[in-house]
Amino acid sequence: MLLQIALRQKASALTALVTATAIALTPFSAARAQAKGPPVLRDTETEQLLREYTRPILRVAGLEKQNIQMVIINDGSFNAFVADGRRIFVNWGAILQSETPNQIIGVLAHETGHLAGGHLSKLREQLATAQTQMIIAMLLGAGAIAAGSTRSSSAGNNGLANAGAAAIAAPQEMIRRTLLSYQRQQEENADRAGVKFLTATQQSPKGMYETFKRFTSESLFASRGADPYLQSHPMPAERVAALQEFAGSSPYWNKKDDPALQLRHDMVRAKISAFMERPETVYRRYPQTNDSLPARYARAISTYLHGDLRSALSQIDALIQVQPNNPYFYEVRGQALLESGKPAEAVAPLRKAAALSNNAPLIEMLLGQALVGTDNKAYTDEAVRILRAAVAREPEAALGYTQLAMAYGRKGDYAEADLASAQAAYLRGDNKTARELATRAKTRFAVGTPGWVKADDIVAAKPPRN
């Protein structure tokens, strides 16, 4: 029994090692307030830009119909990774630190290379093989330890026991090196695939090269003296040299980003800075002497976030005069009013934002929240309609169901209110509350109706995967 437990512990440790290295293959205000749950940020403007960046790459990679999602992680470091076959995760720090669209597009092309190559599923196969090899080696080593222990008790000889310990340690080290070597090869393959996708979409691989070159400069000291065979990624200098060789031959190497796209990229970076960084940092990045649109955007958001609503609204209105059809300026205006306790005043700009953004679900949820927050019963039916449409298109957003529950409560429709509250709790990971609310909802719905079936599904469901 002790041997079986030890084997399971060793296998678990190896699983943790490989999982960690696999990950290394590598509206904001609501998210800022989250202290629990996965560190995911949501913002329509940023997500839309990332989708536009990846769409042509996914198309040439043959993944256009796979519904690959872009997920923004609440982390200021530069990183992007894939942890499953359906999502690309990007730290907000990666977007903020990418000075050009091409730099972040290059990183996304690399991660698409992992998806197109099926690297995660292949890594799991390697892990399964490695665990089998490890278990066999440990069984053989444990047998030698037991034999050595028996003989040493009678003859004072522990040679076999030492040999058994070596028999356990040596194969584990060999297996670990084999797995890491496999991952380094995956990284190189992803680099090459990324360049291939960028060339096929007539985009420059220079941004990918610039990004990895910067990483090389930052990590040269840290990697000095490191064993190259104990790294999950190629050694920095070797990687950049190889990347320069096959990326530098691209006919699009010197192609520049479209100025309009560069402006959108800079606007998103300004927005991220304003929401995620301290105000003094924001003003160092975007001082008053900088009169560019991104700088004004950052300062307007930072101003509202730190309590000066009147000045913020004046700055936002000035932005709207420059770009009267920009939905995200109206979104920020409505969000500022809503978070300042003025939901009735937030309705008009959020209506405009929703219309200009083709009814983006996250913006519709803000609009629904404003309509509910007015306490005006004349808005209740509209709030229900808008929120139902929003959660139908964005079914994993707990905020939408929370506001929908409140809207149904205002109508006196307590069955639907309980069901929406149960769905919100389920998405937050509060399975106990979700089951309790869904159980109560079942008593309010007629048996077999759609509402009853949805509530029954929640009662029987397992917690959602993040």
Instruction: Parse the chain into domains and list their residue ranges.
Output: 1-256
Q: Residue 136: how many CB atoms within 10 A of its CB? A: 11
- Residue 223 is predicted with a pLDDT of 34
pLDDT digits (tens, 9 = 90+) for 81-92: 887 778 899 999
- Residue 202 is predicted with a pLDDT of 97
The more confident residue out of 213 and 136 is: 213
396 band by pLDDT with thresholds 50, 70 and 90: confident
| Closest CA relative to residue 331, chosen from 11, 46, 56 | 46
Which of 38-42, 68-72, 368-372 bottoms out in mean pLDDT, i.e. has the lowest? Answer: 38-42
pLDDT digits (tens, 9 = 90+) for 256-305: 999 999 999 999 999 999 999 999 999 999 999 999 999 999 999 999 99
Contact criterion met (CB below 8 Å) for 305 and 29: yes
- Cβ partners under 8 Å of residue 140, min gap 6: 167
- Residue 229 is predicted with a pLDDT of 32
Residues shown for the chain = 466
Q: Is the pLDDT of residue 177 over 70?
A: no
Q: Residue 97: how many CB atoms within 10 A of its CB? A: 16
Distance CA(82)–CA(85), nearest Å, equals 7
- Residue 394 is predicted with a pLDDT of 93
The more confident residue out of 86 and 44 is: 44
Amino acid of residue 28: F
- Residue 158 is predicted with a pLDDT of 58
Distances (CA, A) of 442 to 143, 325, 404, 448, 458: 58, 45, 18, 10, 10
Maximal C-alpha separation, the chain = 93
> For a pLDDT cut of 90, what percent of the chain falls above it?
59
Contacts 24+ apart (CB under 8 A), 273-280: 273/96, 273/298, 274/298, 274/299, 274/300, 274/301, 274/302, 274/305, 275/28, 275/29, 275/32, 275/301, 275/305, 276/28, 276/32, 276/74, 276/76, 276/92, 276/96, 279/305, 279/306
- Copy the structure tokens of residue 404: 């929908």
Contact criterion met (CB below 8 Å) for 151 and 160: yes
**Mean pLDDT over residues 374-396, rounded?**
94
pLDDT digits (tens, 9 = 90+) for 189-232: 888 899 999 999 999 999 999 988 887 665 433 333 333 333 34
Which of 11-25, 70-84, 216-230, 436-450 bottoms out in mean pLDDT, i.e. has the lowest? Answer: 11-25
- Residue 221 is predicted with a pLDDT of 31
Distance CA(336)–CA(343), nearest Å, equals 10
**Mean pLDDT over residues 325-336, rounded?**
98
Q: Residue 55: how many CB atoms within 10 A of its CB? A: 12
- Copy the structure tokens of residue 157: 């000889």
